[in-house]
């Protein structure tokens, strides 16, 4: 289904309520995929320039881009519910699930939500340099 907002024809789904952990995983994954795309582009450019270095007579190199940090602010409605954990048909525990509904026009209109009660999650994802060695187990 192609449209102006999604010209590549990918299906876009609007999620009204999802566990907060899942929302944060999606955001983190999107940032990681963006960095990988930037890296792939720089590698392709470097490869192309390497082929032309001798021909052009210039020592050209690709520009590398990096997302050193990303600030995220999500306005949402939060709710909690209990989820039963069973083992062999018996309840062994109750797990508290924190769910979030990102505040958007659909949610506001569907539930007649008062934006004055909105929760705000602010977080920062920061890249760190790789370690020289892997820790011993």
Q: What is the pLDDT of residues 70-119, one digit of tens each?
A: 888 877 777 788 888 889 989 889 888 888 777 766 666 666 766 666 77
Question: Is 1 within the bounds of a domain?
Answer: no
Who's near 65: CB < 8 A, 6+ residues apart? 38, 42
Question: Is 114 within the bounds of a domain?
Answer: yes
Q: Is the pLDDT of residue 39 over 90?
A: yes
User: pLDDT confidence of 57, banded at 50, 70, 90?
Assistant: confident
Q: What share of the chain is helix, strand, coil (3-state, %, to 5)?
A: 35, 30, 35
Q: Is the pLDDT of residue 2 over 60?
A: no
Position 134 scores a pLDDT of 65
Query: Rounded mean pLDDT of 19-44?
Result: 90
User: pLDDT confidence of 33, banded at 50, 70, 90?
Assistant: very high
Query: Rounded mean pLDDT of 32-57?
Result: 91
Query: Rounded mean pLDDT of 40-69?
Result: 89
Please give the residue range of the domain that contains residue 104: 18-126
The structural domain count of the chain equals 1
Question: Is 25 within the bounds of a domain?
Answer: yes
Question: Is 2 within the bounds of a domain?
Answer: no
The model carries a pTM of: 0.62
Residue with tokens 């050209």: 60
């Amino acid at each position: 289904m192609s449209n102006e907002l999604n010209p590549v024809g990918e299906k876009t789904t609007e999620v009204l309520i999802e566990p907060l952990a899942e929302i944060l995983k999606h955001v983190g994954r999107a940032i990681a995929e963006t960095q990988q795309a930037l890296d792939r582009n720089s590698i392709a450019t470097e490869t192309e320039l390497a082929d032309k270095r001798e021909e052009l007579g210039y020592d050209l190199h690709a520009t590398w881009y990096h997302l050193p940090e990303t600030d995220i602010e999500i306005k949402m409605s939060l709710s909690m519910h209990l989820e039963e954990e069973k083992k062999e048909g018996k309840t062994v525990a109750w797990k508290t699930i924190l769910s979030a509904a990102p505040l958007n026009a659909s949610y506001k209109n569907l539930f007649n939500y008062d934006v004055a009660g909105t929760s705000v999650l602010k977080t920062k994802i920061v890249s760190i340099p790789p370690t020289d060695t892997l820790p011993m187990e």
